[in-house]
Homo-oligomer: A and B are copies of this chain.
Amino acid sequence: MSKKDQITKERILNEAEALFAKNGYDAVSVREITTAARCNLAAVNYHFGNKQKLYLEVFRARWVPRARRVQEYFMEFLASRDTVSASAVAQALAEAFLKGPLSDDERQRQSQLMTRELIQPTEAFELLAGEVLRPFFKEMADILRPFMPEGLGNEGLALNILSMFSMVIYFNFARVVVSRITGRDYDAAFKDRLIEQIVGFSLNGLGKGKKKGA
């Protein structure tokens, strides 16, 4: 395995990720990927075994590490605050997912790849759920727990997190609709507006103002 190999392998991974995100697994041909990556058709099978394994490797080598970066950004954003609150958690979540460490293209690809797996889970979903989703939800639950009303069980907490999550995901993958309905371009200013919306909408939804606990 020389340097040249890694370069080709990485080019394939990059182009495959972009194409799978944009068009979905079945709409993308191996020829399309290798042409975009400027390498021979057989390279996919040589480096990854077959198309399915390449798809899985896109998640292992690209999607999961990026999701980890978002999660780290979320944690650091929270840590940078002097006091943690339910509102700060919502703010951190929205900032991490709508702005955060990823470029705009990366964010869009990330959302598209995940949403495709949510609609129609494949082998990659197990990876996605085990390595990212479950740990992140556990982390969020641990952080939010002290700020929730005493009567709220684990299920209620989980549903609150899912509610916030739904907005964050939706505003990312349904950009076309969001832009169309609001009549605004999906630019930096609009993203700030969306973050404001998510935080504001989540704030009271999370039970703030009703909370009986500390």
Binding site for B on A (CB under 8 A): 22-27, 112, 115-116, 118-121, 125, 129, 133-134, 137, 155-156, 158-163, 165-167, 169-171, 173-174, 176-178, 180-184, 193-194, 197-198, 200-206, 209
Contact = CB atoms under 8 A, between A and B. Distances in A.
A82 B156 CA distance: 30
A197 B115 contact: no
A169 B118 CA distance: 12
A164 to B, nearest CB: 9
Contact of A159 (B129, B169, B174, B182): B182
Given A137-B181, A181-B158, A204-B209, A170 B173 contact: no
B178 A23 contact: no
Contacts of A163: 167, 197-198, 201
A174 B114 CA distance: 10
16 contacts: A23-B26, A24-B24, A26-B26, A115-B119, A116-B119, A118-B176, A155-B183, A158-B181, A158-B182, A159-B182, A162-B181, A166-B166, A166-B170, A167-B167, A201-B202, A201-B205
B194 A159 contact: yes
Contacts of A133: 177, 180-181
Contacts of A177: 118, 129, 133, 162
A159 to B, nearest CB: 4
Nearest to A171: B166
A140 to B, nearest CB: 10
B26 A176 contact: no
